Structure 1
Amino acid sequence: MVVGMGLVPDVVSLTEVTKVYAGRVRALDRVSVGFGRGSFTAVMGPSGSGKSTLLHCAAGLDLPDGGRVVLAGQEVGALREPKLTAVRRRHVGFVFQSFNLVDALTVWDNVLLPQRFAGTRPDKAWAREVLQRVGLGGRERARPGELSGGQQQRVALARALAGRPEVIFGDEPTGALDLSTGREVLGLLRGFVDSSAATVVMVTHDPAAAAWADRVVFLADGRLAGELASPTAELVAARMTELTR
């Protein structure tokens, strides 16, 4: 079963991907799925269905035990460090539930940190524009501890976008936020997809969050369990109820 692979080349594609942990736990079982340029995909499924493993394999954070992962035209399994790290830093942005900001650094330095690690000259004008877009213009000198949880997640989003990645991966990016702030972050992700043709792949457990996406890909027991185009919160919730019976 292949989901999302069409005539337009995907920014990220997984073909027959299998991942096994501890020699016996099959987290992914021959999963084939593609994520096209300028698309917003939510990944959902019951606990233990393989959502985070799918995200980590797609992003090159973890290598599959079988199958192929192609990220921005590069086959992940064929790359060795530090080439794999260079591909991730050039093409990928990450937004996770825990923010992963460096408390000792200012907002500005947190946003530019991945580019400095990559040894590239930061595009400071774009970084300032991104901070403006996420509502943090003027807070460049603040430190994470001086910000609310929602503001810290906006810093994490700005950091992910500052390098102009082709694809942004989010693992429960709104899971630690209140409803209103979560909607604001989802609106920002939606806006960046629509305005810059970025690709967003987001793991979530929340049907309302998934409704911001163009489609939802469902997993169950490490296997694809279908997809839903133009999702609504009600349709997603109904499908999730079916999967957890």
Structure 2
Amino acid sequence: MVKATTRTTDVVELAGVSRTYPGGTAVQALRDVTVSFGAGTFTAVMGPSGSGKSTLLHCAAGLDRPTTGRVRLAGNDIATVREPRLTKIRRAHVGFVFQSFNLIDSLTVWQNVMLPQRLAGRRPDRRWAREVLSRVGLVGREHHRPVQLSGGQQQRVALARALAARPDVIFGDEPTGALDLGTGREVLALLRQSVDEFGAAVVMVTHDPAAAAWADRVVFLADGRLAGELAAPDVEQVTARMTRLTATAAGVR
């Protein structure tokens, strides 16, 4: 696989971010996290269960707000911005690919792909959308509905939907978690392509060392804190690091 080696502008920046969920026993999901993600780079986020991976992704994407700290997305400070403005920023700069696909069953493939641009009040770029559908292997499926597609095809639709809006960053939350090995590799190759050819930043939460090895670097979390990172990772390195982190989280030395 070919990996990008040149880091350019930081698209997402978290500075001193903490997130505490109130309740009978408050849960501190993130603790003073400072990390950034550059355009044209692919970052995997890993850690033991409960380490704060999803919370990091949600705060970075503006889906959740930090308790303290600053988050900048495409040059916009989103930690305190009001929701209507935040929604506009997400629609202008962010694409999402989730494990559960999050497609609208009543819409066709084409309608699902075009929806974010319509919601953003922009005139859809139909030529680019057709190019994206071709890139993800969905030519001829434009008028199918999600129920008529395999899981892998549905994830391709989700990726096409993200790319069609030309986002600065694509956030993936276990995007291959519901796919078989071969289909998962195809989706990872498409995410890699979105970095290398389209210049997007990709930030992907995953538990799979093989998936993380497609990234330029892996950022590790443990107990809500940064626990190091690996550049140009391979499966063995990621597996070894995760084994140590998981053992530490379980209280084993």
1:123 match: 125
- Whole-angstrom distance in 1 between the partners of 2:12 and 2:240: 28
1:67 match: 69
Aligned partner letter, 2:181: L
Gap regions ≥5 residues in structure 1: 1-6
Tell me, yes or no, if structure 1 residue 14 matches structure 2 residue 6: no
Runs of 4+ in 1 over 6 A off after TM superposition: none
Within-5 A mapping of 1:4-43 = 8-23=8-23, 24-43=26-45
- Whole-angstrom distance in 2 between the partners of 1:173 and 1:200: 12
Query: RMSD in angstroms over aligned alpha carbons?
Result: 1.2
Query: How many residue pairs get matched?
Result: 240
Aligned partner letter, 1:10: D
- Whole-angstrom distance in 2 between the partners of 1:228 and 1:152: 31
Percent identity over the alignment is 74
Deviations 1:175-232 (A, max 9, x none): 0000000000000010110011110000000000000000000000000000000000
2:178 match: 176
- Whole-angstrom distance in 1 between the partners of 2:60 and 2:171: 9
Within-5 A mapping of 1:98-113 = 98-113=100-115
- Whole-angstrom distance in 2 between the partners of 1:231 and 1:35: 16
Gap regions ≥5 residues in structure 2: 1-6, 248-253
1:53 match: 55
- Whole-angstrom distance in 2 between the partners of 1:103 and 1:73: 34
**1:118 Cα offset (Å):** 1.1
1:144 match: 146
**1:9 Cα offset (Å):** 3.7
Aligned partner letter, 2:213: A
**1:138 Cα offset (Å):** 1.3
- Whole-angstrom distance in 1 between the partners of 2:16 and 2:131: 40
**1:8 Cα offset (Å):** 4.8
- Whole-angstrom distance in 2 between the partners of 1:29 and 1:140: 44
2:98 match: 96
- Whole-angstrom distance in 1 between the partners of 2:153 and 2:123: 26
- Whole-angstrom distance in 1 between the partners of 2:152 and 2:246: 31
TM-score, normalised by the number of residues in structure 2: 0.93
**1:81 Cα offset (Å):** 2.1
Match of 1:58, SS state, is helix
